Structure 1
């Protein structure tokens, strides 16, 4: 059983392992967004851990397994003028060897690169079974 004191207050020392975790977790976010821009929902699912949690305000959505993106998700997004999503920043605000919390700022752009919207979210990536994946996104 996990010691509760260690669970809620792990050691605060920065380490090479944490720097590696930030780099690897950031690469996971980059792969997710590359697949998002390719409208590849299966590829996006490949960068998530399940169950996958999304928070919007006080509402919580949990996907137990891949395959839950709405079939018309990208059709609706394209109808809004969207053509790509681009990171403005990915700031690691809390990191350990197996978990990184990022404040992610990104824009949705049209085909000419005009910004349609800007979003700032909290995403948490974790390493489970040796693989980095996004476990939680808060919008």
Structure 2
């Protein structure tokens, strides 16, 4: 059994690492809007957990992130792109960061499909900050 992370209350993510996490989230949204599964995979640690739509899905490896959700959003809602409204670091340690996020999904004409809250957990592994898990109130 591995020991649990133990850090003092003052042990938080460094400003440099916070900037790296912010960059990961910016590149994530860019990859999502390009419908670029490979670029999204490059920003995730595996296994990667996603909690949304009443279910938990674990992607064991790169290439297992299904893009059919976005195809359904295109057909059902006319989804064109998404954008972050808010990115807020709520908890962190030197190796993990919890971000409360709010994003909007848009149609091509700029009309809003919906605004959704999420929690993303980024972790430092192998010297890289990447998204380890996501929980969203969006579909």
Scaled by the length of structure 1, the TM-score of the pair is 0.86
The equivalent of 1:64 in structure 2 is 60
Question: In the alignment, is residue 107 of structure 1 matched against residue 86 of structure 2?
Answer: no
Contact 1:18 1:95 in 2 (8 A): no
Distance 1:90 1:71, change over 3 A: closer
Counterparts in 2 of 1:1-139, with a 5 A limit?
A: 3-4=3-4, 7=5, 10-13=7-10, 18-56=14-52, 59-79=55-75, 80-139=77-136
5+ long unaligned stretches in structure 2? none
The alignment of Structure 1 onto Structure 2 pairs a total of residues equal to 135
Cα distance, 1:93–1:114 mapped onto 2, change above 3 Å? same
* Contact 1:47–1:134 under 8 Å retained in 2: yes
RMSD: 2.0
TM-score (norm. length: structure 2): 0.86
Alpha-carbon distance in structure 1 between the residues aligned to 2:17 and 2:96 = 7
Distance 1:34 1:65 in 2: 21
Greater shift after overlay, 59-68 or 34-43?
59-68
